[in-house]
Amino acid sequence: MTCLHSEMSELFGKSVTLPELLSPAGGLKALEAAIEGGADAVYIGGTSFNARMNAENFNAENIEYAVNLAHRYCVKIYQTINTLVFDRELKDFLKSAEKSAQAGVDAFIVADLGAAAMLHKYLPEIPLHASTQLSAHNSAAGGILQKLGFSRMVPARELSYENIKSIVHNNPLEIEIFIHGALCVSHSGQCLFSSV
């Protein structure tokens, strides 16, 4: 099976760069809908170290199934590990991340710089995406994040078009932009502020 990007390149006889359509999936039905709807990638949360712990999420077995299903359709799986990790949680954090890496996730979406450093050290083959909860909102942050091992950043959702354009053109990282979904009422990515 070939992927849509490959088919587009063959159709036009040259390499075509299309934006990645990334969709959230809280459970298997949402994952299937995202794949059927044409997503290039899907982000999911596990049962721990995930900012959406009160929502439906994937356990270790479901993550493996999700990865296998998505990859069958040339869809990538990014796992959110986007909470702050305490020292006492590091062993469980790394064990959980290692299981997901073995299952074949394509990247981790991370909010904690210490946790990112641990992932970069112990699982260097897995790309790191800087979560919007990491609060990187300008192109200068991209240079710092690149040095820390990140390949992508997700800036604040409330940025203006001009700000986004500047970040995209003056940044060494891939940029992921939210175009739909819940907006925080306080400061993007700082969900606890919004909940207050």
pLDDT one-digit tens code per residue, 103-116: 999 999 999 999 99
Task: Say if CB 158 and CB 188 are below 8 A apart.
Answer: yes
Spatial strand order in the sheet of 174-175? 22-24, 41-45, 76-81, 107-110, 128-130, 150-153, 174-175
23-58 pLDDT, tens digit each = 989 899 999 999 999 999 999 988 788 777 667 788
Q: Does residue 170 register a pLDDT over 60?
A: yes
Q: pLDDT at residue 184 above 80? A: no
- pLDDT of residue 4 exceeding 70: no
Residue from 95, 75, 71 nearest 85 by CA: 95
Query: How far is Cα 196 from Cα 178, in angstroms, rounded to an integer?
Result: 23
Alpha-carbon distance of 133 to 136, in angstroms, equals 8
**Which of 9-13, 14-18, 26-30, 79-83 comes out lowest in average pLDDT?**
9-13
pLDDT at 34 (0 to 100): 96
